[in-house]
Amino acid sequence: MKTILTSEMRELDRRTIEEFEVPSEVLMDRAGYGVADIARHLARTCGYGDALIQLFAGRGNNGGDAFVAARHLKKMGFEIEVFFAGEASSVRGDALKQLLQMRSDGIELRELPTLEDWELLQATPQAAGDILIDGLLGTGITGRARGPVVGAIQVINAFARRGLVVSIDVPSGLNADSGLAEGDVVAADITVTMAAPKRGLIQPCALDLVGNIEVIDIGGRILKRSVRHDLQYSSGGNDPFKLKGLFLLPSFLPLDIAVGLGFPTISIAILVVIATSPAVPE
């Protein structure tokens, strides 16, 4: 299976937006909906009928994806909490549009601008949600996480003792090209990545941090065609965009949950499952 570099993904995004006139906020809404849909599936599979889903957002596009996911999860009937690593006044662009929309839908944003704020939250492990969505840092990270994001990463990892972690595009703190982490990094149970797996996600050094990989189609036929032609996908004769996930079988998922998510009851390291990709609004 062909993987993709972050520079290649940026170019595909640019072409989709500029050449095919798909607004960037539409791509963000599709990404956020896909994250919400996978969280819903996870909640049902794990028997979380009244799940508390907590979303952790940064100021960039991953934070925007988290704001979108929060809106959709609320519509799906889940109890949600949204935490922000910093001050909301730092949000710009499409992420700001999604933040304003989220707030207009009656969803509160809890701003935690200092490490001390995050330490106080971490000291209340009983507050942990059933599903934790990591939207702190994206594929553009270079170097180690800094500032309040470090505290947010530490809270997610601490709360993960009670809940399952879903990272958006890449676990926060992980380099999406190399798979290396220079500092604090989220340890995800599922990484929901956009359009195609980023190269760093399948590096041996990253496997324990990435968990299961789910691929979301955010660009429709336009992005599919660009990936096929420009990146020369090799899928062994199968349509790569019917690939629901490159599932990495983790030791920390209970067997009944692993089976519910599509894993067979055999002990092997990597499985490729062909299925219809999660639905996204057109």
- Can you list the domains of the chain with their CATH numbers? 6-274 (3.40.50.10260)
Between 260 and 99, residue with greater pLDDT: 99
Q: Which backbone phi and psi does 172 adopt, to 5 degrees?
A: -60, 130
pLDDT at residue 13, rounded to an integer: 86
| Strand 109-112 relative to strand 79-85, pairing | parallel
Joined tokens for residue 44: 């049902």
Question: Judging by beta carbons within 10 Å of its beta carbon (0-12, 13-18, 19+), is residue 217 exposed, middle or buried?
Answer: buried
Joined tokens for residue 265: 């009851």
- Give yes or no for residue 1 having a pLDDT over 80: no
pLDDT at residue 5, rounded to an integer: 92
Distances (CA, A) of 211 to 14, 103, 157, 247: 29, 31, 13, 8
150 contact partners, CB below 8 Å, separation of at least 6: 115, 118, 183, 184
- Give yes or no for residue 273 having a pLDDT over 70: no
Average pLDDT over residues 146-167: 97
Joined tokens for residue 105: 């839908």
Average pLDDT over residues 73-92: 97
Which of these ranges, 50-59, 154-163, 212-221, has the smallest mean pLDDT? 212-221
Q: What is the pLDDT of residues 224-234, one digit of tens each?
A: 444 444 443 33
Average pLDDT over residues 1-27: 87
pLDDT at residue 257, rounded to an integer: 40
- Give yes or no for residue 92 having a pLDDT over 80: yes
Kindly state the percentage of the chain with pLDDT values over 70.
77
Q: What is the pLDDT of residues 120-139, one digit of tens each?
A: 999 998 999 999 999 999 99
In eight-state DSSP terms, residue 100 is H
Q: What is the pLDDT of residues 39-74, one digit of tens each?
A: 999 999 999 888 999 999 999 999 999 999 999 999
Average pLDDT over residues 161-179: 96
Residues 30, 225: contact at Cβ < 8 Å?
Answer: no
Beta strands across the sheet bearing 52-57: 109-112, 79-85, 52-57, 131-135, 164-168, 190-194, 212-216, 243-248, 270-274
- Give yes or no for residue 270 having a pLDDT over 70: no
Confidence of residue 183 (pLDDT cuts 50, 70, 90): very high
Average pLDDT over residues 81-99: 97
237 contact partners, CB below 8 Å, separation of at least 6: none
As a whole number of angstroms, the distance between CA 143 and CA 138 comes to 12
Confidence of residue 219 (pLDDT cuts 50, 70, 90): low
Residues 235, 225: contact at Cβ < 8 Å?
Answer: no
pLDDT at residue 157, rounded to an integer: 98
- Give yes or no for residue 163 having a pLDDT over 90: yes
